[in-house]
Amino acid sequence: MDIIKGSVLDYPETPYVELLGRSYFSFLQGASSPEEMVLQAQELGYRGLALCDLNGLYGVVRAHRQAHHNSSFTSPSDFASSAQAKSFQLIVGSELKLKDGGSVALLPMNREGYTRLCQLITQVQRPSQKGFSLFHLELLAQHSDDLIALALPPWNMDELKFLHQQFHDRLYLALWRDLSWQSRQFEHQAFELERHLGLQLVATQRPFMHEAQRKPLFDVLTCSLHRVSLAEAKTRLLHNSERHLKPLRQLKQLWQDRPDLLERTLEIAQRICFSLDELKYQYPKAAVPPGFNSSSYLRDLVRRGTLWRFPQGPTAAVQSLIDKEMALIEELQYEDYFITLWDICQFARKQSILFQGRGSAANSVVCYVLGLTAVNPEQIDLLFERFISRERGEPPDIDIDFESDRREEVLQYVYKKYGADHAAMVCTVICFRTKMALREVALALGIDLKSVGKIVQSMGKEGLSALVQMNESNLQLSLSNWGITQTQFQLLIDLTRQMYGFPRHLGIHTGGFVITQRPLSECVPVEKSSMVDRYVVQWNKDDLESLKMMKIDLLGLGMLSALNKSFALLKEKRNCSLSLATIPPDDSKTYKMIQQAQTVGVFQIESRAQMSLLPRLLPKCFYDLVVEVAIVRPGPIQGGMVHPYIRRRHGLEPVHYAHPDLKPILSKTYGVPIFQEQIMQIASTVCGFTPGEADELRRLMSSSWKDASLMQGLRQRLINGMLQHGIQMEFAEQVYKTIVGFSSYGFPESHAASFALLTYASSYLKAHHPDVFVCALLNSQPMGFYSPRVLIAEAQRSGVPFLPLDVQHSDYDYALEGPAVRVGFRAIYGLNKKFIQQLIANRQRHGPFSSLENLVERIHWPKSALMHLASSGALACFGLSPRAALWKIRSMNLERESFFYTQSPVYEQGPDLLPQESEWESMHREYRAQGYSLSSHPIQILRPHFQSTKGSARHSLQGHNSLSIKKLRSGQPVTLIGLLASYQKPPTAKGFVFLTLEDEFGLFNVVLNPQIHLRFRQTLNANPLLKISGCIESHSSGLTHLKAKEVSPLLP
Amino acid sequence: MAEAFLQLSPQLQYRDPGFIFVDISSTTRLFGGEVSILKRARDLSQSLQLETSLAIADHPSTAQTLSVYQPSYISPPNRDSETLKPLPLAALNHLEGLISWSSTAEVQDADIREIVSFFNLVGLRQVGDVQKIPRESWHQQWGKTGEMLWRKIHGQDQQLISPYLPQETLLDSLHFDFSVSLRSFLLHSLEKRLQILLARLQGRGQLAQKLRLHLHCEYSQQQHFLEVHPALPTRDSEVLMKLLEHKLASIETSNPIQQVEFEILPVAERVEQLDFWQPRIKDQDRIKDLQGLLRQAEINSGFVQLKDEILPEESWQLSFDFMDYEPLEDQVHIDGQSFQIKPVHSQHLRSAPRPSLLLPTPKALSSKELRQLEFLSAQPTERLEESWWEISRGRDYYLALSSKGECLWIYHDRIEDRYYLHGYY
Amino acid sequence: MSKAEQISQLRNRLAGQLISCDHIKRPHAISTGWPELDRFFLWPGWPKGEISLIYGPEGLGPTRLWMKCLPQIIGQQLWAAWLSPKNLRLCPWDLFQQTQSGNLSRLFIVETPSDQIKDWLWVTTELLSVSLFEIIGCHWDQLSPKPAQIHKLKRLAERYQCALVILTQQEKPFKSPLYAAIVQVGKNSICIERAQHRPTPHFFQRRLFYADFMPQFKSLPTAALNDQEDKPVLFG
């Protein structure tokens, strides 16, 4: 179709490509997500969209995925959009701001152009901290080939001359018409330049949002950028909402005097032929010893590994698995990937850093043989497609856990080996959560900080829904209490909802690493991260996955460092050498302890939900542990899997399968699907999915971003598959429900297996060496479910004596002194580690301290640190009560030069003036210093007071505590007092709240139904010491908990 | 307000927030002892509707603490330290006396709170316990602050109250929520406020020479000016009220009164000395005089104060004295070599063409007038949208030529879909 | 003797007293900011100590004509005053653009709420008697002063050597003989009806007046107001 010059009206549809699209990845300067921009552009019938965010390519991958989401499940109704999606061109680009306010947008024309753009951005962003950039025009001199430059106003002459020299005919001046006087002035200047210098112009809309309704949100973002409220913002805000993607008809009408500028956008788009799919990814050549190439070296490693893992030779099944895997690895050329991983693990093994591979890697025998994972293939049947599949063509995703304290050494090793140019961390985008978004919007609306605090506090843990579901009466009440009007409240809710999920800044993925053969900055820009000498790529985990780029995760796990410390203590103090591999399997004492749910501190099975399940499941062997780890997850709970499994395991229910083909898959779990692998096997055998499709089903279901049309297509395929296979409709529906319910939380069997290993190891240690185990646990805090206070109380109850903190004996860490555990200085809050090491070194060199003055003279601590030491009671060895010590330190003369150094005035009789410390006050002081008290428990002190008060007879205390209620029969009313240990409101529990309270005898569980919880929410949030009355509910397996009716604070 | 208490003794000192210290050592005998002077002070504050708490003690700091913890208590002479003994430790914060903690350099608020918290830490609860600690250890621990605190606790801190010199004008205003047309109600409410002014006059030892009233009516900004001249300068409220009643009878109150401002021109009981030298008047003074004159005649005058607002009519105002205008520009943050730009999106509105005269309230155009206009462009020259969080406004501005060739500034209100004339070029 | 010889003889005789025109010391005046008008006036601008009158409908720009003199005055740190009409407010943004320093501390503005002539006169006399302002612009809207009042103003202006410019919107205002300069702003032309020692009436093209003003508008096609084709979506 030819374009008739001038007569625009009869032109069917103006071809237009928006060349300066901006998403919210411009951090507070864009109000729409990349997906929204692409969708809107497609709906409006644009020929394409260029996403140019400020100083980076953060959102281009998400936009690319949205533009080309070709998934095998696109339902027929989607066909129209996907066909049109084919013609829609997604252009990658970035806008770089200049110091004088102008800016240049660069669009790469081909792969080399893209590389230059990435290198330029890296050069601009790497040295400067977050949000800053180093861009100046001279940088363009080396990076101007294969790039199209759009110069944005305000222009000045020498800049334009320089750009013209660099880009010649690839330079365009972008101008827009947003009904503002400024745009008219720029337009006038542009026409002048075109007439005199013959520069090429191009039309754009310079959109900051995808539709006009986003203007309020954009204003709020501008306010939070400038740290002002809307009323004070004045001309900082956009004066109208024209900066959005307009329909073609309106564009045509807007540019009716210069339609050629619209057509030029298509010309430019046609000059660009680059898409992110071209990013070929080669994994770096691993360092291979001479005489070997990658595959031969890998084959040799596997051979040696097999001998190590199977001394008496592998079984035929295992050998065939190994050969199958090796064939696939060599076909997809992933040898270098495995060798790199093996090399990293080799380094960790040399440094005796405990590590363990998990995730899909545990499905591969090669990994087991190479020592990456510790899951023996004979124990669980492996599904190699889950790890690498030919159809998917995606690199394997291996996560390796290291000791959390020593993970840094491994990271530095990788940086040194591959160089900072070839290796960088994967980024995560830190987004606005509800609380943060609400605070920003409230500040913009001019609501003062105090009322914001009140709103956030009344929101509690449920988030926005708590505010929205308020009924009319207490809404009015709280509005007056917060001092805001109804409209303000409505705006606050709408804008917070819109702002949820917007990126605030970049963070570092806990362990993700990208390693490339060519310098990394050739395929993705690299930025400086907040942590010192750490660099991060601008794409997150999902981006890399969708571009099929290889990533390895080196994660830290607290339990591994705890186990390592336990083994070290055992060797040093109890001279028995033990390691992960040499722990005796299936030890009856350990399983007995697990069955009685005494698992506080044990890995993975210490949470309340797990402990309530253990007495019912009664795990007896390793596989039971694997099931226990996997079963208490939202997936199985939502799928209604837990109860049938327990009943079938104890034979209370016959085991039946919907179809004979399911028997081999589900036989191990009594016909109940629990693991993701099982779901994939069901999908492939019963619903006719190919293994690759089954895996894409898993990845699709677990990805946080779900597209409604895709889910619809998926349901069709599943149900039809099952019907063809002869399964009745209602059962097919039931299977579909379990698959969907299962999707995002289902636990892979391989993953559960590697965790179960650690669970068993930690249970064994707790059963046989409780003191060593609790000491190691306390030394690797913070980790796990319970605070040190609960761990110590639990250990004391199981007979482990504790010695208090003492300046003469304690080290930095908790230590074993004979049978007892000596508290370490690390327990004191706010005491610098440097000072402690100084004290210990001095003590070791010059022996114990003779007196307080001698201590102060030798260790030169500042007064505040000495006060911390005194208030923790560590100076008791000098015969000083904590208060006396505090007073003496306070009055000491601490200037080193002065003659009176460490002398306190001779006539000082202050200390005997001080009143004697009561038991409650000393316990309170210890809690404030280190978070727990060895000598007494608050409930123990308060109980006599409550015993004496008459109180209502029916709910009287009758001296009940966490031990005595176990003997009571179900339904008996009782009142208990306790200190709150944990508060849980799992989303799958439909509003029920589970509390764990602690008294001097142990822990007891309390259940609150939604109404009770709503009534007592404030008391629960505000005070840790509670008095709860209700009735006992005990379960056949000996598990008892208190069904709460009334909650009141213990202390007024 | 403090002036009213001048009646009790000339030595009076006011310290914000709201503390009045009166040295009554010399004048207690005149009022018959401390108990009666305390009663008199309480009656005076009740008559002026002030809720106050009073206390008498040897030292200002002790008096202030007692007023907080034991209102209207009279501490027996030179036994201040005993009276302080039972008070809780937090009383230390109130031992400020004439000079507040924050103003003096050597004592910091934080110091006092830190000392109090340390005592709590070590288990001391009352001022009595702290008094036992010897002076040297106070000095040892907290240096000068400790020393000063010790003196205050033991009632040995000397602070002298200087005589009071009145400066503020005797001016007061009264605003009625529902405008008033009943004369008696007006008089009654005036009388209460007049009492306070007269009490202040009495405190200053002056007489009222003239009472000037300025009544604002509710409708069409009508105003009345009244002046009451007592034959002899007096402080007697009945005389003034009778004259006032007579004056009010003369004005008609069909237009109800919304606000009253009244001022008393005092005259010293003794003739004051006038100063003769007249300094040369600078330009600014001439302008100030002119503005004062115009203000008398309710004529608004002043200088242009430009503001960064989006809507044209709010973008400047007439301000009494000139204020500099720093235009709002992009903020460029520099960190070493790198920079970050925080854009100000509508800073260009300053350079947009504005008419030379603006109508304060835009005039709606009828469709007939609209047809006679000839618009310079089909597209609006500017589209301004503003304050969606209050009353959202959307205007498209156009330039138009009228039939008489006038160059007008028209805007189309997109919410009401009507055209308005806003200015002349 | 031929005429030429008489003239040369006269010139020789008067040679001592004749001076060329550029030596004439032009009387003191305030430049109007519009070069053509300055060149036309004997006094280069609004005569000081005199009263001048500008009249014509408001939209044709009498105020703009008066405001053109302000940038120069403010530039020289001199004072100017403006007496604005009841329902019109002076908009300072163009003035802000033109003054380099952007400092309008020397422009004093008075807004009178009342519409009786005696108030205006009182304010004008007050402004004059301060003897601080170089030029005072009074916009008297539709009011028309009596001759005696103008005479009083003339005496005050003369005594304080201040240029008083009166603007009014009346079609045919009272043209008192005391006015030194009268300018009428018409639809297509600006007519100088009276200027001392100058042949009047004299016409200027109004287009010239707008020469420096809004060049951008010259290029825009003037289109009749067409109805707004799509209802603009505003926070729907």
Residue B285: the pLDDT is 81
Residue A978: the pLDDT is 86
Residue A77: the pLDDT is 40
Mean per-residue pLDDT, A695-712: 63
Asked if residue B231 belongs to a domain, the reply is yes
Asked if residue C42 belongs to a domain, the reply is yes
* pLDDT range class, residue A700, cuts 50, 70, 90: low
pLDDT at residue A701 tops 70? no
- The answer to which of A108-117, A687-696, C149-158 has the lowest mean pLDDT is A687-696
All residues of chain A having their beta carbon less than 8 Å from the beta carbon of residue B333 are: 132
Domain spanning A2-210+245-277, CATH class: alpha beta
Domain that holds residue B358: 354-424
Residue of A982, A983, A978, A988 whose CA lies nearest to A1030: A978
pLDDT at residue B238 tops 70? yes
Task: Summarize pLDDT for A734-793 with one digit per residue, the tens.
Answer: 777 767 666 556 677 878 888 888 888 888 888 888 888 888 888 888 777 788 888 888
Residue C231: the pLDDT is 28
Percent of chain A with pLDDT over 70: 87
Residue A595: the pLDDT is 85
* pLDDT range class, residue A109, cuts 50, 70, 90: very high
User: CA torsion angle for A358, A364, A365, A367 (degrees, to 10)?
Assistant: -50
Mean per-residue pLDDT, A1007-1035: 82
Q: Are residues B179 and B315 in the same domain?
A: no
Instruction: Specify the fold of A769-930.
Output: DNA polymerase; domain 1 (1.10.150)
Lookup result for tokens 């804008």? A495
Q: Which amino acid is at C85?
A: P
More confident residue, A383 or C139: C139
Q: Are residues B124 and B142 in the same domain?
A: yes
The three-state secondary structure class of B4 is helix
Residue A391: the pLDDT is 67
Residue A209: the pLDDT is 92
Percent of chain B with pLDDT over 90: 4
Testing the interface with B: which of C74, C91, C160 to mutate, by most B Cβ within 10 A? C91
Asked if residue C228 belongs to a domain, the reply is no
Residue at a domain's end among B88, B118, B153: B153
C-alpha–C-alpha distance, residues A974 and A954, integer Å: 8
Asked if residue B290 belongs to a domain, the reply is no
Instruction: Name the B residues in 390-409 with CB < 8 Å from any C CB.
Output: 392, 394, 396, 399, 401-402, 404-408
Neighbours of chain B (3+ CB pairs under 8 A): A, C
Q: Are residues B366 and B347 in the same domain?
A: no
Q: Which amino acid is at A897?
A: E
Closest CB from A134, A179, A891 relative to B337: A134
More confident residue, C17 or A185: A185
Task: Identify the CATH number of the domain in which residue C198 sits.
Answer: 3.40.50.300
Question: How many domains does chain B divide into?
Answer: 4
Q: Are residues B68 and B106 in the same domain?
A: yes
The three-state secondary structure class of A883 is helix
Residue B262: the pLDDT is 84
The three-state secondary structure class of A494 is helix
Residue A958: the pLDDT is 56
* pLDDT range class, residue B271, cuts 50, 70, 90: very low
Q: Are residues B341 and B361 in the same domain?
A: no
The three-state secondary structure class of A805 is coil
Q: DSSP assignment of A498-525, as one string?
A: HHTT-EEEEEEEEEEEEE-SS-GGGTS-
| End-to-end CA separation in angstroms for chain B | 54
With CA atoms as reference, the chain A residue closest to C215 would be: A188
C-alpha–C-alpha distance, residues A568 and A1028, integer Å: 43
Mean per-residue pLDDT, A550-567: 84
Residue A403: the pLDDT is 86
Mean per-residue pLDDT, A373-400: 72
Q: Does B143 touch chain A (CB under 8 A)?
A: no
Give the tokens for residue C122: 């009182």
Residue of A308, A735, A702 whose CA lies nearest to A542: A702
Residue A902: the pLDDT is 57
Q: Are residues B243 and B374 in the same domain?
A: no
Mean per-residue pLDDT, B134-149: 76
8 Å CB contact of C93 and B316: yes
- Report the range out of A203-207, B333-337, C48-52 with the highest average pLDDT: A203-207
Mean per-residue pLDDT, A833-856: 85
Residue A893: the pLDDT is 65
- The answer to which of A81-85, A918-922, C202-206 has the lowest mean pLDDT is A81-85
Residues 6 or more apart from A641 whose CB is under 8 A from it?
A631, A672, A673, A674, A738
Residue A912: the pLDDT is 63
C-alpha–C-alpha distance, residues A841 and A633, integer Å: 48
**In CATH, what is the architecture of A938-1049?**
Beta Barrel (2.40)
Q: Give alpha helix (H) positions in A829-954.
A: 833-846, 852-859, 863-871, 882-891, 910-913, 919-930, 938-948
Give the tokens for residue A984: 């849980």
C-alpha–C-alpha distance, residues A936 and A802, integer Å: 12
pLDDT at residue A828 tops 90? no
Percent of chain C with pLDDT over 70: 83
CA angle C52, C54, C57 (to 5 degrees): 165
- Identify the helix (H) or strand (E) that includes residue A329: helix A316-332
A761, A563 Cβ separation under 8 angstroms: yes
Q: Which amino acid is at A442?
A: A
Residue A223: the pLDDT is 92
Q: Give alpha helix (H) positions in B157-260.
A: 183-204, 237-250
Asked if residue B158 belongs to a domain, the reply is no
Neighbours of chain C (3+ CB pairs under 8 A): A, B
C-alpha–C-alpha distance, residues C142 and C140, integer Å: 6
C-alpha–C-alpha distance, residues B12 and A958, integer Å: 66
Instruction: Name the C residues in 189-218 with CB < 8 Å from any B CB.
Output: 206, 213-214, 217
- Identify the helix (H) or strand (E) that includes residue A407: helix A407-418
pLDDT at residue A73 tops 50? no
* pLDDT range class, residue A907, cuts 50, 70, 90: very low
Q: Which amino acid is at A767?
A: A
Q: Are residues B262 and B399 in the same domain?
A: no
Residue C235: the pLDDT is 24
Residue A76: the pLDDT is 39
Percent of chain A with pLDDT over 90: 12
pLDDT at residue A5 tops 70? no
Residue A17: the pLDDT is 92
Question: Structure pTM?
Answer: 0.69
Task: Summarize pLDDT for C144-190 with one digit per residue, the tens.
Answer: 888 888 999 999 888 888 899 999 888 888 888 888 889 988 887 88
8 Å CB contact of B141 and A890: yes
- Report the range out of A266-275, A292-301, A597-606, A677-686 with the highest average pLDDT: A266-275
Residue A3: the pLDDT is 36
Task: Summarize pLDDT for A117-168 with one digit per residue, the tens.
Answer: 999 998 888 888 777 888 888 888 888 889 999 999 888 888 899 999 989 8
Question: How many domains does chain C divide into?
Answer: 1
Residue A4: the pLDDT is 37
More confident residue, B105 or B164: B164
The three-state secondary structure class of A192 is helix
* pLDDT range class, residue A269, cuts 50, 70, 90: very high
pLDDT at residue A245 tops 90? yes
Q: Strands (DSSP E) along A541-604, which ranges? A: 551-557
Testing the interface with A: which of B120, B122, B129, B384 to mutate, by most A Cβ within 10 A? B122
* pLDDT range class, residue B47, cuts 50, 70, 90: confident
pLDDT at residue B231 tops 80? no
Mean per-residue pLDDT, A982-990: 75
pLDDT at residue A897 tops 60? no
pLDDT at residue A69 tops 90? no
Task: Summarize pLDDT for A488-514 with one digit per residue, the tens.
Answer: 888 999 999 999 889 988 777 777 888
All residues of chain C having their beta carbon less than 8 Å from the beta carbon of residue A220 are: none
* pLDDT range class, residue A104, cuts 50, 70, 90: very high
C137, C66 Cβ separation under 8 angstroms: yes
- Write the secondary structure of chain C as one string of H (helix), E (strand) and C (coil): CCHHHHHHHHHHHHCCCCCCHHHCCCCCEECCCCHHHHHHCCCCCEECCCEEEEECCHHHCHHHHHHCCHHHHHHCCCEEEEEECCCCEECCHHHHHHCCCCCCCCEEEEECCCCCHHHHHHHHHHHHHCCCEEEEEEECCCCCCCHHHHHHHHHHHHHHCCEEEEEECCCCCCCCCCEEEEEEECCCEEEEEECCCCCCCEEEEHHHHCCCCCCHHHHCCCCCCCCCCCCCCCCC
- The answer to which of A169-178, A800-809, B185-194, C209-218 has the lowest mean pLDDT is C209-218
All residues of chain A having their beta carbon less than 8 Å from the beta carbon of residue B137 are: 891, 905, 908, 910
* Cα Dmax for chain B: 96
Gyration radius from chain A CA atoms:
33
C-alpha–C-alpha distance, residues B230 and A552, integer Å: 97
Q: Are residues B23 and B93 in the same domain?
A: yes
Asked if residue B207 belongs to a domain, the reply is yes
C-alpha–C-alpha distance, residues A965 and A976, integer Å: 9
- A 10 A CB-CB count for A504 gives 16
All residues of chain B having their beta carbon less than 8 Å from the beta carbon of residue A254 are: 379
Mean pLDDT across chain A, nearest whole number?
81
Mean per-residue pLDDT, B379-391: 84
Closest CB from B134, B331, B347 relative to A235: B347
C-alpha–C-alpha distance, residues C78 and C72, integer Å: 9
Domain parsing of chain A, residue ranges: 2-210+245-277, 294-430+507-558, 589-759, 769-930, 938-1049
8 Å CB contact of C234 and A253: no
B200, B3 Cβ separation under 8 angstroms: yes
- The answer to which of A809-813, A847-851, B210-214, B265-269 has the lowest mean pLDDT is B265-269
Q: Are residues B117 and B254 in the same domain?
A: no
Residue A34: the pLDDT is 92
pLDDT at residue B97 tops 80? no
CA angle A1025, A1031, A1036 (to 5 degrees): 115
Residue A72: the pLDDT is 43
Residue at a domain's end among B319, B334, B352: B352
Give the tokens for residue A716: 């069709």
Residue C229: the pLDDT is 35
Q: Are residues B108 and B238 in the same domain?
A: no
Give the tokens for residue B149: 């605190």
Residue A19: the pLDDT is 93
Domain that holds residue C192: 24-219
C-alpha–C-alpha distance, residues A166 and A144, integer Å: 6
Asked if residue B273 belongs to a domain, the reply is no
Task: Summarize pLDDT for B59-75 with one digit per residue, the tens.
Answer: 888 888 888 888 888 87
pLDDT at residue C218 tops 80? no
User: CA torsion angle for B253, B255, B260, B266 (degrees, to 10)?
Assistant: -50
Q: Are residues B122 and B179 in the same domain?
A: no
- The answer to which of A838-847, A1031-1040, C56-65 has the lowest mean pLDDT is A1031-1040
Mean pLDDT across chain B, nearest whole number?
80
Residue B109: the pLDDT is 57
pLDDT at residue A953 tops 60? no
Q: Which amino acid is at A1011?
A: Q
* pLDDT range class, residue A625, cuts 50, 70, 90: confident
- The answer to which of A855-869, A1003-1017, B120-134 has the lowest mean pLDDT is B120-134
Mean per-residue pLDDT, B272-288: 62
